[in-house]
Chain A
Amino acid sequence: QKEVEQNSGPLSVPEGAIASLNCTYSDRGSQSFFWYRQYSGKSPELIMSIYSNGDKEDGRFTAQLNKASQYVSLLIRDSQPSDSATYLCAVANNDYKLSFGAGTTVTVRA
């Protein structure tokens, strides 16, 4: 079983719609959760971090964490063409490692 799993997509959404990305993780001891955005050919960029159960909002992005279900999600509201990218879910445990999912590719249709 992979440590961090994401739907690979592609996820295609119309401009202005909500994009919903999901991530599950296997280690119940995981403590920190992150979402990165990676444009094609570029390095990942940190866009959200969440540490406790519930929702965390930052602009058009909302991260949701449910530790009991070992599930973390990212919502992108009012999706824009500039949101077209691959989104990586990352999970940190007590050690120094960040475990990454393979990423979900999002395409926003104008």
Chain B
Amino acid sequence: SQTIHQWPATLVQPVGSPLSLECTVEGTSNPNLYWYRQAAGRGLQLLFYSVGIGQISSEVPQNLSASRPQDRQFILSSKKLLLSDSGFYLCAWDSGTRRAFFGQGTRLTVV
């Protein structure tokens, strides 16, 4: 069966510090991978998606970047965090069916 791992679960970072969130999927190959952000009481905002290694599409221009160095690994990064980067970050995957499955999420607080 397929599983998705996302870490860390919680993170408190100072403004201006770098960020690296990692997500890996097991039990499948060539998944579509996604990074979403959910602000408190809001819906999910798609940040990045990837259909293959090195292929990244950005949905919203902002202070973040994503990379896919391996088939089942997706990384979300920032060089300098802003207060507005706080939120619940969710990695997800699907096999092309759009039936997306989410990781446990990372709650990021920028202070």
Contacts and interface: CB of A to CB of B under 8 A. Distances in A.
Contacts, number: 45
Interface residues of A, number: 21
Interface string B35-72: 00000001110100101000001010000000000000
Given A96-B32, A96-B57, A101 B102 contact: no
Contacts of A32: 97-99
A43 interface: yes
A62 interface: no
Interface of A: 4, 32, 34, 41-46, 49, 88, 90, 92, 96-103
30 contacts: A4-B43, A32-B97, A32-B99, A34-B100, A42-B104, A43-B90, A43-B102, A43-B103, A43-B105, A44-B90, A44-B102, A45-B102, A49-B99, A88-B43, A88-B44, A90-B100, A96-B32, A96-B51, A96-B57, A97-B46, A97-B49, A97-B59, A98-B34, A98-B46, A98-B98, A98-B100, A99-B46, A100-B44, A101-B43, A103-B43
